[in-house]
Amino acid sequence: MKNHTLLTDFYQLTMMNGYLKNGIHNDVVVFDLFFRKNPCDNSYTIIAGIEQVIDYIENLSFNEEDIQYLRTLKLFDEVFLEELKNFKFTGSIYAVEEGSIMFPQEPVVRVLAPCFQAQLIETALLNIINFQSLIATKASRVCEAAGGDPVFEFGLRRAQGPDAGIYGARAAYIGGCAGTSNVLAGKMFNIPLSGTQAHSWIQKFDTELEAFRAYASIYPDSCLLLVDTYDTLKSGIPNAIKVFQELRAKGHEPLGIRIDSGDIAYLSKEARRLLRSAGFGNIKIVASSDLDEGTIHSLKMQGAEITGWGVGTNLITSKDCPALGGVYKLSAVEENGQLTPKIKISENPEKITNPGYKKVIRIYNEDGYAEADLIALDDEEIDTNKPLTIFHPLYTWKKKTFYNYSIRDMLVPVYVDGTLLYNRKTAEEIKGYTKKELSSLWPEYKRLNRPQLYKVDLSERLWNLKNDLVNKRRDGE
């Protein structure tokens, strides 16, 4: 990964300079990175991008070219620029394991560092995690709609630039996709590649049959033909059947066909009928053409004979929800060796932050299903031998008590005092972890439309702390 030290908002630098001028640049602070709303009306969000956060931190330093550029702005003096020359991240970062399922208001990254350092990294962390988490979650929805059929990410040409295409493909794979058309992403992250031919291949030859035969002669054991260039049922399928018969006569079995336009439900059913009557009833039928989870769900309900899905624009851009609203908020400041909780007040209750140095505890029932999450202060201990009662942070009369349960601390150390401790994983390993995480959710949470909302509550201590701080601010203290 490139050095992205200057991948930050300008006001981060002006604040850092202000901290230095006020002599508070080394004061230790705590920031929480979290999101307020799940994307795409989903009930959960898959967190992706932790590996790239590590790459960013590992390469975090201001080189001479950076310093010279900042000098030309004529806003910063040499004392500040000298401080940047010696910049090194020495703080601690706790985060969820990449691929974790998380919910609104929960810290997914917790930073404890001198404010000079913690302030700088805000923008890049949000840029990395917001985008990849958005695409991983969108991919999960698409794969859920596909009902176990393989989904292939085909969005590179419609992505919002090269980085979005590369890291979007990675996130889509983590979210459940079987592969990508993006060769560079395949190389970088060892993601399986998928792709055959475009309509231009068919058009280049004098006839569709000639184009099919040419392709089959090169790839006899992986022959998947695009059949909708001219007329799917009158031309494409009959010509594909001829080529498939020729392949079989030579001892090769065809892989399948792809339909990229038209009434996919009708065409796929007719295509399956024609292929079956010719003795090729079990080959794959792959669909593409501006698909998303809603369209795929509808096609499945109509009995479409599709065994694989190529999803491009609507996945790589998350077209119906183009951004995850992750935020990075100050929650504590070290004073006299102790962390003092800080809170942000808003007229909107959802924007009132949770103060203090916190952790996220996941509660599982005896069958291994996730039942609820509890945001608690970091020093709180839970005795799983005793019943645990939680309550809704706004509607406090809503309570639930757990008896036979287990718990898990979701935040794990990534950096401690500047030292990397996180066990890095491949994209395939993260995808496997995500699949396991999803299996711990009840099906009701994975519905595409109006899913059940997962319980996220505050511990009693944190709830009391938050309300005390709100009341003090309201009373003008």
Q: Is 230 exposed, middle or buried (0-12, 13-18, 19+ CB in 10 A)?
A: middle
pLDDT tens, position by position, 210-254: 999 999 999 999 999 999 999 999 999 999 999 999 999 999 999
- Going from N- to C-terminal start, the domains of the chain cover 10-135+322-474, 136-316
pLDDT tens, position by position, 336-385: 989 999 999 988 888 899 999 999 999 999 999 999 999 999 999 999 99
Q: How confident is the model at residue 394 (pLDDT cuts 50, 70, 90)?
A: confident
pLDDT tens, position by position, 405-417: 999 999 999 999 9
Mean pLDDT calculated for residue range 414-424: 97
Give CA–CA dist 78/70, Å, rounded. 10
DSSP state of 233: I
Q: Work out the mean pLDDT of the chain and round it to a whole number.
A: 96
422 Cβ neighbours under 8 A, 6+ residues apart? 50, 54, 95, 412, 413, 414, 415
* Backbone torsion region of residue 361, taken as left when φ is above 0, otherwise alpha when ψ lies between -120 and 50, otherwise beta: beta
Superfamily of 136-316 according to CATH:
Aldolase class I (3.20.20.70)
Q: What is the pLDDT of residue 346?
A: 87
pLDDT tens, position by position, 193-209: 999 999 999 999 999 99
Give CA–CA dist 363/240, Å, rounded. 54
pTM: 0.96
Q: Is the pLDDT assigned to residue 284 strictly greater than 70?
A: yes
- The verdict on domain 10-135+322-474 having CATH code 1.10.1740.10 is no
Q: Is the pLDDT assigned to residue 1 strictly greater than 90?
A: no
Q: Which has the minimum average pLDDT: 186-195, 253-262, 345-354, 436-445?
A: 345-354
Q: Where are the alpha helices (DSSP H) in 250-369?
A: 264-277, 293-301, 313-316
Give CA–CA dist 65/68, Å, rounded. 5
Q: What is the pLDDT of residue 4?
A: 93
Q: Is the pLDDT assigned to residue 477 strictly greater than 60?
A: no
For residues 435 and 323, the answer to whether their CB atoms sit within 8 Å is no
